[in-house]
Structure 1
Amino acid sequence: MFYYHMSIDDTCNALATERKGLSRREGEKRLKTYGRNEISIKSDPLWRKLIEPFKNVFMLVLFIAVIISFSRQSFFDGIIILVIMMTSAVIYYVQQFTTERILRSLQKHTAQRIEVVRGGETRYIDDSDLVPGDVIQLNEGDKVPADVRLMTTNTLRVDESVLTGESVPVQKNTDALHGKKEVYEQSNMLFQGSFIVSGHATGIVVYTGNSTEFGHIAALSRKSSEASTSPVQKKIDKLLSYVIMGVGGLAVGAFILAIVRGIEFSEALRFVLALSVSAVPEGLPVAISVILVLGMRRMAAKKALVRSMRAIETIGVITTIATDKTGTLTENKLSVQKTWQPEKNQHHLPTIAHRTINHHGQHTRDPLDIAMIEFTEAEELVQLKGEPIKKLPFNQTFSMSGNIWHHEGLYELVVKGAPERVIEHSHLSSANKEEAEQALQALTSEGYRVIALATSVVKNPVEAFEELSSRHVFTFVGFIAVADTLRPTARRAITTAQLAGVTVRMITGDHFETAYHIGRQLGLIQSRDQVFDSREIGNLTDKQLQKRVATSFVFSRVTPENKFRILQALKMKEVTAMTGDGVNDVPALSSAHVGVAMGSGSQIAKDAGDIILLNNDFESIIRAMKEGRIIFSNIKRMLFYLLSTNIGEAATAVISIAIGFPMPLSPVQILWVNLVTDTAMVIPLGLEPGEKHIMRVKPITPTSPLLSRYIIFRIVLVAVTMASMAVGMYAFFNMRYGADYGRTVAFAALVVMQWANAFNARSTFQSLFSRLKVINKPFYIGLAVSITLQIIAMFGPLKNLLGIYPIALGDLFVSGLIAFTVLVFVVELHKLWGRRCVMDPQE
């Protein structure tokens, strides 16, 4: 039901109320029927929340590893993996709790006592006790407690920026409206959460709680804030699903080969289980968690507070940033941008402007008055003679407001208002009027809101504009053009994002012209065709909207519901980040892949965001994006290292059995290589510094695989090289000194090749020798730990447990040198070919 269509009497009839309000008994009855004026959201059942974190490929990998460990009676390993699983679950539960905070914050509000008419008598009640049909009275400075159909207004102006994103207060009236109107067009309605800037009003409460516009935003947030998997996680899950299938096939094949070769059944089973553990990168989940936590700390130092771990990996692959204008690209603060006066005008415009301010000596909430105060205070020549004795509030008929000043027996009325009406009431010649209208056209065409100033002498003080004579004329002074102030770093940050291959889209509640000109100032658009008037969105299907948003980079007249649909359309082909600071941004913030809230914004927006920019600087999102790209590149480094080394270990065993050799590594040696070397080196690779050109390449597309064909080929190349070298060394030393000697050499060579591969993994195209210039202390610490453990394994108390046979140091050194050199040489050749022939958008 659209109450803005109805007259006041029809609204009273529809709500079964009267102008004198409900009776006390009826108010209590309706409170039981409609419930309290609070937002309430249904949540998922507890059992669904508990099992949710275990429904992914990562957990399946770890669960398989637990079964294998317990089947081998390696209870310690199994318990460690279970701890990893529970840690991941706890991280999810914390994330889910954060999501629920969004919904709870929509219910939070400062208790407010509202002046309500019950049974013809005025009384004060808590805003949570309001019901549809209540008649309430609101005054300047009040926060609107529910959705209200206005009955009476007196110079009422309302700040609705929290819902619409418009920084300029809107004028309200009581006239019924015709046709479908958006929130920002419903001039006879007040909405929960907005503020009365000036004037006072009475109205009928039409919606409370979840039925308000604020409640609708809560419902959108609920739909969009359900747990979702990040785009990077989806790619990793898909890759791991292939790994699991491959490991399963490899295990079955290896077991059959082992039996065919005459290996005893229990030994073959032990071998296959060890092989399966070595092939599965079960350490990847905890390694990613560690580098994400460390990334959160680094980003916090750069004034970007990360509240969702998945946001760090996702911010590195975003392809578009959809940003709110007010408070994000701008400071949500009106300022005087330009002024204009006729050439022969003798009045000092800043002085006249200061005289029109409605709250001299008082605190004001009016953004226009604040802008004019700041403008005139910066002018040294402003000289105020006399004192203001009367304030004339904004009059809708005259479309102006003003003050009467008294000085040395003279009364002067100075006014500001709509340019057309001020010009109409001013004494101007035809030529001067034409000149003023041309200047007005020029200023409005640049997207400015223009205020006209005028002055006149009156014989006596007046209380309202209606008291002026019909022949009263003003002396026109000039125009002041105001606009929301752009953040100084916004243009630079947008340019940086565009150079990184990330598109930026501005979403605002402003008029088309204002949005167009701000978009041009920021370098977002070149033509009007790239601006989408969101009032058309209701006529478009989802597919039509998807095509439209693909070519639009500025969106005007956007409501919260529009913003939500725009984000949904963008997400079909883009990885999106959404920035904002108001209640109207909440659905889009929680719907985007990464929600970025401003630290100075509303608490609801901050609760909805995955990342909070503590310094309110849009440029911080670019720094966060760079950090995310570094982390994403490092995740790929870890994957390359783990998959290539694990496949190399598995291939070593399978090739040996296939060609009829005894197993070159015992099961316990396979597990040692997998556990010690991988664990010591994989996390340091995740902390590798970013490459210089990381913000000069395009992001990976949502449909692209996590690992390119170039990297997959290198994984296979490394695995084959490792397996060939290990099997070859085993065969050579086995023939000369026996199986135990050959197995020990192969074991040591395989570990050395893991170290070589860690050096290879530090960069995709850059030579190992060039990359050595980039210092990564954790890498060398991890390498030192791995070398120390290997020395203990070879020469310390663990050698008997691991089946290490005494070998000559010369053989150990030469075989290790060959293993290291050959693997580095092979990968260097591949990198050289890649630098000349391959264009990888990720490195």
Structure 2
Amino acid sequence: MSNLEGLSSTEAAERLKEYGPNSLPEPQHRLLRLILRQFSGIFNVLLLAAAAVTFFLGETIDGAFILFFVFLGAALNVFQEYKSNAAADKLKSYFVRTITVRRDGRDQELPVADIVPGDILKLESGDIIPADAIVRQAKSFLVDETTFTGESIPVSKQASDDLTADAADGSRLLQGVVVISGNALAEVTATGTKTRLASISATASAVQAESELVKGVDRISTFILKITLITLLFVILANVLIDGKETDIPSLLIFAIALAVSVIPEALPLVLTFSLSRGALQFAKKDVIVKRLSSVQDLGSVNLICSDKTGTITENRLVHKNSYIVPESAFHPLILARLAAHDLEGPAPEPFDRATNEALSDEQRSEIAAFKLLEEEAFDPALRSNGAVVRKVDGLMLHIRRGSPEISLSRGWCIGSRWVDGLLMRNEPAGECLASAMMKAVAPDSEALYPLSIPSKIPPLRP
């Protein structure tokens, strides 16, 4: 376990040699593998065999044409895919990520690739976690784990000293997770290929499924090969039965092989390559890089997509519809919700904060501007809420608690309003509420508890 002053430069250099850079290994000999893949399909193997037989029969021009079609199609495929891979690599080179790391007792901005186990990361809103880590210090620290869980709701992380693999999820950070709000110090536990994200990536890339186009061409090739063998066998047997001992076996074999070769459509790979290249060109006009030509046909033949809903079919954002306003409340619920946001001064990063911020009127924004944030209360998983203490320019101080309406109501934080009592009797609508906000006015000589205000998806209750 490292202390919170971080590693020394010497220790970091030694660990970088031991563990390697914090990056995934780049595939080697990509061009060679790309070329060899062009001749791994059954159809191209069949064409090469046909060319060899044609040369053997003395038909040099025909054999040369077959080879021309085969190698031209392969060359076009290699050129297109290599160019696409090069374009993707060039795009990657533009994104040189850095992160704030504490080394030699001071904060430094370092490339993500230089991170090593034991480094202390200084994390703030907007940072992308560069390696697996454990939170050592945290303040109102929320992260987005959509990459791993599919859930867009921010997750609160707490400090821990357990750096083992059994560390609780509440303190573990995985590479690729995004910091939503707050700040924290986290100690790196795994980098490079040892991270959870790298493990998932390796598992996913271990099986390279062939495209449906390649499978279809292979099926056609297998069918042609079977027909060719049946034709050879039939011609030979028929001539032997008809001519008997006078059958000229060498001439018969040459004739049968020539007949079989004539059945093979030599230009098919070239036609397919031209057609797919045209599709790739159309995608390029839409700013899409096609790294493998056969994927063009796969995408075009899709009629059913099974996908995680959040952020794909939906926009992964909340929208404010309406508010259930308690008549006795002195403030609109949108104002209370925005005042309790994690970053009152800047843009609202959380989905709920963003939704309430977008719904505010100009008049409400002016009222919010009159308040100053004094203290934040981090999200409490047990209470399913967070809080804030704010002060208005006229001296009025408010203690706001924002969170689950079920928790707010069940704990009796706001009792005595017939509107609240009515809401408690309606379990189903209460479950539809997005959030509740209670506030307490704090003054030197007095203290008053205002009724509950609830931004909700349900219409107002009737008196």
Identify the TM-score tier after normalising by the shorter chain. 0.7 to 0.9
Measure the CA separation in 1 of the matches of 2:289 and 2:98. Answer: 32
The answer as to whether partners of 2:334 and 2:455 remain within 8 angstroms in 1 is no
Match of 1:237, as an amino acid? D
Deviation (angstroms), 1:128: 2.6
2:169 equivalent to 1:186: yes
CA shift digits 1:715-754 (9 cap, x unpaired): xxxxxxxxxxxxxxxxxxxxxxxxxxxxxxxxxxxxxxxx
1:148-297 alignment runs, 5 A limit: 148-175=133-160, 186-224=169-207, 226=208, 228-254=209-235, 271-297=255-281
2:298 to 286, 299, 314: 314
1:387 to 370, 375, 379: 370
Equivalent position of 2:311 in the other structure: 327
Deviation (angstroms), 1:88: 3.8
Equivalent position of 1:28 in the other structure: 13
CA shift digits 1:594-615 (9 cap, x unpaired): xxxxxxxxxxxxxxxxxxxxxx
Measure the CA separation in 1 of the matches of 2:425 and 2:195. Answer: 43
CA shift digits 1:406-451 (9 cap, x unpaired): 254544445533334544463312865543445575354x5x7x22
1:764-783 alignment runs, 5 A limit: none
2:390 equivalent to 1:400: no
Match of 1:435, as an amino acid? G
**Secondary structure in 2 matching 1:390:** strand
Measure the CA separation in 2 of the matches of 1:208 and 1:89. Answer: 39
Deviation (angstroms), 1:188: 0.5
Measure the CA separation in 2 of the matches of 1:366 and 1:360. Answer: 12
Measure the CA separation in 2 of the matches of 1:396 and 1:202. Answer: 18
2:415 equivalent to 1:428: yes
Larger relative helix fraction: 1
Measure the CA separation in 2 of the matches of 1:300 and 1:32. Answer: 41
Relative distance call for 1:281 and 1:171 in structure 2 (3 A) is same
Relative distance call for 1:407 and 1:116 in structure 2 (3 A) is closer
2:452 to 469, 472, 476: 476
Equivalent position of 1:76 in the other structure: 61
Mean Cα deviation higher: 30-39 or 359-368: 359-368
2:71 equivalent to 1:90: no
1:669-818 alignment runs, 5 A limit: none
CA shift digits 1:308-334 (9 cap, x unpaired): 332243346657522122221111222
Relative distance call for 1:329 and 1:87 in structure 2 (3 A) is same
Larger radius of gyration: 1
Equivalent position of 1:799 in the other structure: none
2:358 equivalent to 1:374: yes
Relative distance call for 1:382 and 1:199 in structure 2 (3 A) is closer
Equivalent position of 2:116 in the other structure: 131
Measure the CA separation in 2 of the matches of 1:238 and 1:383. Answer: 65
The answer as to whether partners of 1:66 and 1:81 remain within 8 angstroms in 2 is yes
Measure the CA separation in 2 of the matches of 1:205 and 1:265. Answer: 75
CA shift digits 1:338-386 (9 cap, x unpaired): 5333466575334444444454552343332221111224xx7747436
Normalising by the residue count of structure 1, what TM-score does the alignment of the two structures yield? 0.46
CA shift digits 1:590-638 (9 cap, x unpaired): xxxxxxxxxxxxxxxxxxxxxxxxxxxxxxxxxxxxxxxxxxxxxxxxx
Match of 1:400, as an amino acid? N
**Secondary structure in 2 matching 1:138:** strand
The answer as to whether partners of 2:134 and 2:160 remain within 8 angstroms in 1 is no
Deviation (angstroms), 1:162: 3.6
Relative distance call for 1:400 and 1:441 in structure 2 (3 A) is farther
Normalising by the residue count of structure 2, what TM-score does the alignment of the two structures yield? 0.79
2:116 equivalent to 1:140: no
CA shift digits 1:110-143 (9 cap, x unpaired): 231423144x555554433322222332233333
Which ranges of structure 2 fall in alignment gaps of 5 or more residues?
Answer: 459-463
Relative distance call for 1:264 and 1:306 in structure 2 (3 A) is same
Deviation (angstroms), 1:246: 2.2
Equivalent position of 2:98 in the other structure: 112
The answer as to whether partners of 1:357 and 1:403 remain within 8 angstroms in 2 is no
Relative distance call for 1:288 and 1:39 in structure 2 (3 A) is closer
CA shift digits 1:545-593 (9 cap, x unpaired): xxxxxxxxxxxxxxxxxxxxxxxxxxxxxxxxxxxxxxxxxxxxxxxxx
CA shift digits 1:506-561 (9 cap, x unpaired): xxxxxxxxxxxxxxxxxxxxxxxxxxxxxxxxxxxxxxxxxxxxxxxxxxxxxxxx
Q: Give the paired residue count.
A: 449
Relative distance call for 1:213 and 1:114 in structure 2 (3 A) is same
Relative distance call for 1:216 and 1:360 in structure 2 (3 A) is same
The answer as to whether partners of 1:154 and 1:201 remain within 8 angstroms in 2 is yes
Match of 1:404, as an amino acid? V
The answer as to whether partners of 2:38 and 2:74 remain within 8 angstroms in 1 is yes
**Secondary structure in 1 matching 2:229:** helix
Relative distance call for 1:236 and 1:100 in structure 2 (3 A) is same
Measure the CA separation in 2 of the matches of 1:105 and 1:207. Answer: 26
Measure the CA separation in 1 of the matches of 2:363 and 2:426. Answer: 25
Deviation (angstroms), 1:267: 7.5
1:56 to 34, 38, 41: 41
Deviation (angstroms), 1:58: 0.5
Relative distance call for 1:150 and 1:438 in structure 2 (3 A) is farther
Relative distance call for 1:317 and 1:127 in structure 2 (3 A) is closer
Which ranges of structure 1 fall in alignment gaps of 5 or more residues?
Answer: 1-11, 461-467, 483-843
- Compute the RMSD of aligned alpha carbons: 4.2
Relative distance call for 1:111 and 1:273 in structure 2 (3 A) is same
Measure the CA separation in 2 of the matches of 1:78 and 1:361. Answer: 75
Deviation (angstroms), 1:206: 0.9
Equivalent position of 2:461 in the other structure: none
The answer as to whether partners of 2:9 and 2:103 remain within 8 angstroms in 1 is no
The answer as to whether partners of 1:351 and 1:384 remain within 8 angstroms in 2 is no
Match of 2:274, as an amino acid? V
Deviation (angstroms), 1:274: 4.5
Deviation (angstroms), 1:29: 2.1
The answer as to whether partners of 1:230 and 1:310 remain within 8 angstroms in 2 is yes
Match of 1:218, as an amino acid? S
Measure the CA separation in 2 of the matches of 1:106 and 1:72. Answer: 52
The answer as to whether partners of 2:141 and 2:156 remain within 8 angstroms in 1 is yes
CA shift digits 1:60-85 (9 cap, x unpaired): 32123313432444433322221222
Measure the CA separation in 1 of the matches of 2:312 and 2:298. Answer: 21
1:278-677 alignment runs, 5 A limit: 278-297=262-281, 306-315=290-299, 320-342=304-326, 347-360=331-344, 362-377=346-361, 382=364, 384-385=366-367, 387-396=370-379, 399-402=385-388, 404-420=390-406, 422-423=408-409, 424=411, 426-429=413-416, 432-437=419-424, 441-442=428-429, 444=431, 450-459=434-443, 473-480=449-456
Measure the CA separation in 1 of the matches of 2:283 and 2:336. Answer: 48
Measure the CA separation in 1 of the matches of 2:39 and 2:406. Answer: 65
Deviation (angstroms), 1:86: 1.9
The answer as to whether partners of 2:441 and 2:448 remain within 8 angstroms in 1 is no
**Secondary structure in 2 matching 1:292:** helix
Percent identity of the aligned residues?
Answer: 23
